[in-house]
Structure 1
């Protein structure tokens, strides 16, 4: 019965996806604004913006969510609380669409908080200590962004409106732009807020396929794409942060052995590339790479989930190997998604990544940004090749190799995303004219990208064909420059300790004395004392009257 609910939800999302496709192909921009109320100079309204940006992004979200639902039928079909999982995912997609279609700080806050609450519920779905710790880290990091968005709302109150579509927002103070950028960094796991993204892999794999491809982690990127005309004063700082994120994630992925964490770190690396595109003023290229990345990254997580599910919940790539013969459909999809991730010619992210690299090679940004993005691109090919080799063609190290097999619903969902992963970049570039940037390069500059990709691929094949334990051991790089430990113990642990102390000393201590039970006890004691005093006064008056009467009788006698 619950499987049928998942199928119905997936079909409904596909129908929504078809509607969004027709709306996006129709072109044009329509804005509907409903005035809620106005007070003085403040104008409170609910705007809805339907343009090619919102249609394309919502199309990707609904399409991936529908495939995730179909994948969940096979992956989580025996779960007791599958119905609860379906409803949480539904509200998660609804919150993401509120963020997409409402171009207002209030609407963004609605979707922002909705994503935070539902992502916490999804991360702690398995209800064990590991998932609870990951959920708390995710929630605390995202609360930083929530506070900053509230600060932007307060700063916008002087404008009398909170829409992102009016030029009056250019008059906002510099602090508002900083708050928006830092809030986007927390949601998109940019340096130094990147430790929660690998930790959130404690969630079920269908959640990872949805959350870490096109929804939660891309919400910050989408916010900066909408806010990009007002980021001129903070672009240099954003470029530095994105460069650090790009490098640390690419190096960390080459040193990691957990299958899901490697894919999560590759997501972090691609988010850094999107932020770099926004930092140089190419928000259309950032959106282009966001959409193409979402299609193949969801496929990567689904393939990883099928491998983990078939291998008895084993996520260590050193315990896998030889899966090409036992899971041919899954491995074909996995290798195709890896090719799209690397940006191989005419596959997947080649179109968006090539334009971003060409923009950096155009000579307008200096030498260091070019070196950073070229090194990160080479490292992407290194860890993708290492992952495909160890999992697919390497020697089998699994004790349960016979358990690996392609399952019907899971394989169908992966095949549903395969076309988007391979041809999505070419399709998006043909449909949306905004993705066809023209960049003039000399012949040498034009040949650097394909030659670099080819050289990196050859080196990766040579290095990974001999020794599967090639990568060096580095605690500094594998822990994301110690950010994993800094975020968990000194920051999150201290925050929880302060909250516990506040609860003990305030909620259950002095505040109870001044309010709640303390106030009730004080009033009760005062009432009893007053009642006792009144009783004593009445007794005294009655006794005094009797004595006076007796004395009067004696005198009369």
Structure 2
């Protein structure tokens, strides 16, 4: 008999929450703004505003629905965990922080949601409490802390103008701060090394945190504030996104860790969202973000189950032949892979096709268009390579174990299959009404199909493990960023420790907290000493006066007459 645990209860609650979001979205005609007055005094009022428009409701539903499926998945995947209840509560805090970021448009709501995501994601990454998880967690939290500082500076700059809404946007220097803060959260170059390292977290964490929530928070922030971003900031974002797209796609073709391949594919898709946003199409970026969230959560779940089926190994060179013992899991893996690489009329085909056509028609530049087309080909290549080796390949390692399809792992995957396959087609009419119409010549349209076909052949025939050693080392380390990230983190932590010791506990302590305490303490002691002397002297004078008066009286009356 199956035992209902905390994860199942949390999944049911989140699923009901997603139904409520759908009902609200159907019932509301146009944007709905609810303002809740928290504190009101004679001189002012502090209120919390909640905005429910098509963007916040759509993304909020995707986050909550994916979270519910992840909770059902975790109830089987982590059923042997001793502290499963603690894990569930951290996930719920994480989801609440994400919804705070989505629905509250004020800068203070942004800061609460943004900081809550950083803290809860750190706790989820270090859940296994080993050295690898701790190293990945420290790298994650330090990178996100840099974004937190920039968000605080942006809040100060925007609030100094009298505005407190994210929807208002920002200009000038504040635009660069917001863009860099979003780059840290969405793992863009040079802050991309934390996302592959965070794969040390449990697979349910990867399916939620690294598909639709934490990594997309920066993209969502820039989509909301896009009207106020400066042209220079968008140009910088275009260059950074293009470089991230190419590097992550190349690295995914050389990587042999299954979860890291999926993480690198997430990096490339995030870069494509940032690229679409930087060339003036935030609607297409949001469209791709929604479709990608559904298919990537499914891909992470299927990858985790396949890793279980191979005895815990994540190296695809030791995997293979999983179609026979785990048919439903491998089917979900193949469907999500096809949706990711843009197979015709499935999943991300609609979003990638529209983004590429928009780049060709908006004069983004020949170099950018070529690199994006190359990255699209590389995404097909590594997706086909991984599917061929893991699902249909002959096992070169110990082979699949006796592990078969787990019902409570397969059911959440089936709940996401529909969104991964038909999500792009169903949402196309919704987003095309908000996007400008553009036309593409037949030659360019056929070039996209030709590029996908070539990438398919390359993925099947080409073996990336035969590449030169220096190239594999360069790409596997993300351009040596992985080697630089840990030493830089160590330098940063040692610098913070030195500053804390020499400043907070040094002269700043002497002239502020501890110094003021010592001054007050010494002043009190001196005052007490002076008052003691004065009191003793006064008592002595009184006693002396009494003695003198007694002697005078005695001299006056003695000898007796």
Q: Do the aligned partners of residues 313 and 3 (structure 1) sit closer, same or farther apart at CA in structure 2, a change above 3 Å counting?
A: farther
Q: Do the aligned partners of residues 356 and 537 (structure 1) sit closer, same or farther apart at CA in structure 2, a change above 3 Å counting?
A: closer
Deviation at 1:512, TM superposition (A): 4.8
Does structure 1 retain, via aligned residues, the 8 Å contact 2:283–2:431?
no
* 2:367 counterpart residue number: 368
1:210 pairs, out of 199, 208, 211, with 208
The whole-number CA distance in structure 2 between the counterparts of 1:320 and 1:88 is 32
Please state whether the residue corresponding to 1:47 is helix, strand or coil. strand
The whole-number CA distance in structure 1 between the counterparts of 2:377 and 2:203 is 27
The whole-number CA distance in structure 1 between the counterparts of 2:454 and 2:141 is 42
TM-score, normalising length: structure 1: 0.91
* Structure 2 residue 345 is matched with structure 1 residue 346: yes
**Further displaced range: 214-223 or 28-37:** 28-37
The whole-number CA distance in structure 2 between the counterparts of 1:118 and 1:546 is 72
Please state whether the residue corresponding to 1:326 is helix, strand or coil. coil
Deviation at 1:289, TM superposition (A): 0.6
Please state whether the residue corresponding to 2:465 is helix, strand or coil. coil
The whole-number CA distance in structure 2 between the counterparts of 1:189 and 1:55 is 25
* 2:158 counterpart residue number: 156
The whole-number CA distance in structure 1 between the counterparts of 2:298 and 2:235 is 34
1:496 pairs, out of 486, 493, 497, with 493
* CA displacement, residues 473-498 of structure 1 (integer Å, 9 cap, x when unaligned): 322222112222223212x2222111
* 1:306 counterpart residue number: 305
The whole-number CA distance in structure 2 between the counterparts of 1:23 and 1:547 is 91
Deviation at 1:290, TM superposition (A): 0.5
1:469 pairs, out of 465, 472, 496, with 465
Please state whether the residue corresponding to 2:51 is helix, strand or coil. strand
Deviation at 1:179, TM superposition (A): 1.4
* Structure 2 residue 15 is matched with structure 1 residue 17: no
Larger Rg: 2
* 2:484 counterpart residue number: 486
Q: Show structure 2 runs of 5+ residues with no match.
A: none
The whole-number CA distance in structure 2 between the counterparts of 1:87 and 1:456 is 43
* 2:379 counterpart residue number: 380
Q: Do the aligned partners of residues 151 and 524 (structure 1) sit closer, same or farther apart at CA in structure 2, a change above 3 Å counting?
A: closer
The whole-number CA distance in structure 1 between the counterparts of 2:341 and 2:481 is 26
Count, aligned residues: 549
The whole-number CA distance in structure 2 between the counterparts of 1:226 and 1:522 is 52
The whole-number CA distance in structure 2 between the counterparts of 1:273 and 1:194 is 14
* CA displacement, residues 60-119 of structure 1 (integer Å, 9 cap, x when unaligned): 111110110000001111111111111111111111111111122222112111111111
The whole-number CA distance in structure 2 between the counterparts of 1:376 and 1:235 is 20
* 1:47 counterpart residue number: 49
* CA displacement, residues 135-167 of structure 1 (integer Å, 9 cap, x when unaligned): 12111111222222222222222432312345x
The whole-number CA distance in structure 1 between the counterparts of 2:448 and 2:274 is 20
Please state whether the residue corresponding to 1:324 is helix, strand or coil. coil
* 1:74 counterpart residue number: 76
The whole-number CA distance in structure 1 between the counterparts of 2:273 and 2:146 is 22
The whole-number CA distance in structure 2 between the counterparts of 1:336 and 1:365 is 32
Q: Do the aligned partners of residues 527 and 38 (structure 1) sit closer, same or farther apart at CA in structure 2, a change above 3 Å counting?
A: closer
Does structure 1 retain, via aligned residues, the 8 Å contact 2:90–2:124?
yes
What is the root-mean-square deviation in Å for CA atoms of aligned residues?
2.8
The whole-number CA distance in structure 1 between the counterparts of 2:42 and 2:161 is 12
Deviation at 1:185, TM superposition (A): 1.0
Does structure 2 retain, via aligned residues, the 8 Å contact 1:184–1:224?
yes
Deviation at 1:178, TM superposition (A): 1.4
The whole-number CA distance in structure 2 between the counterparts of 1:3 and 1:239 is 48
The whole-number CA distance in structure 2 between the counterparts of 1:40 and 1:179 is 36
Q: Do the aligned partners of residues 313 and 539 (structure 1) sit closer, same or farther apart at CA in structure 2, a change above 3 Å counting?
A: same
TM-score, normalising length: structure 2: 0.90
* 2:90 counterpart residue number: 88
Q: Do the aligned partners of residues 406 and 250 (structure 1) sit closer, same or farther apart at CA in structure 2, a change above 3 Å counting?
A: same
Please state whether the residue corresponding to 1:46 is helix, strand or coil. strand
1:322-361 matches, cutoff 5 A: 322-361=321-360
Deviation at 1:394, TM superposition (A): 2.0
**Further displaced range: 1-10 or 130-139:** 1-10
The whole-number CA distance in structure 2 between the counterparts of 1:359 and 1:40 is 53
1:161-180 matches, cutoff 5 A: 161-166=163-168, 172-180=170-178
1:269-308 matches, cutoff 5 A: 269-308=268-307
1:107 pairs, out of 98, 101, 109, with 109
* 1:417 counterpart residue number: 416
* CA displacement, residues 154-202 of structure 1 (integer Å, 9 cap, x when unaligned): 2222432312345xx5xx5411211111111111111111111111111
1:63 pairs, out of 62, 65, 71, with 65
* CA displacement, residues 279-336 of structure 1 (integer Å, 9 cap, x when unaligned): 1111111111101111110011111111223334322212212222222221111111
Does structure 1 retain, via aligned residues, the 8 Å contact 2:10–2:71?
yes
* 1:221 counterpart residue number: 219
Please state whether the residue corresponding to 1:395 is helix, strand or coil. coil
The whole-number CA distance in structure 2 between the counterparts of 1:2 and 1:290 is 35
* 1:196 counterpart residue number: 194
Q: Do the aligned partners of residues 544 and 107 (structure 1) sit closer, same or farther apart at CA in structure 2, a change above 3 Å counting?
A: closer
Deviation at 1:502, TM superposition (A): 2.4
**Further displaced range: 527-536 or 492-501:** 527-536
Please state whether the residue corresponding to 1:191 is helix, strand or coil. coil
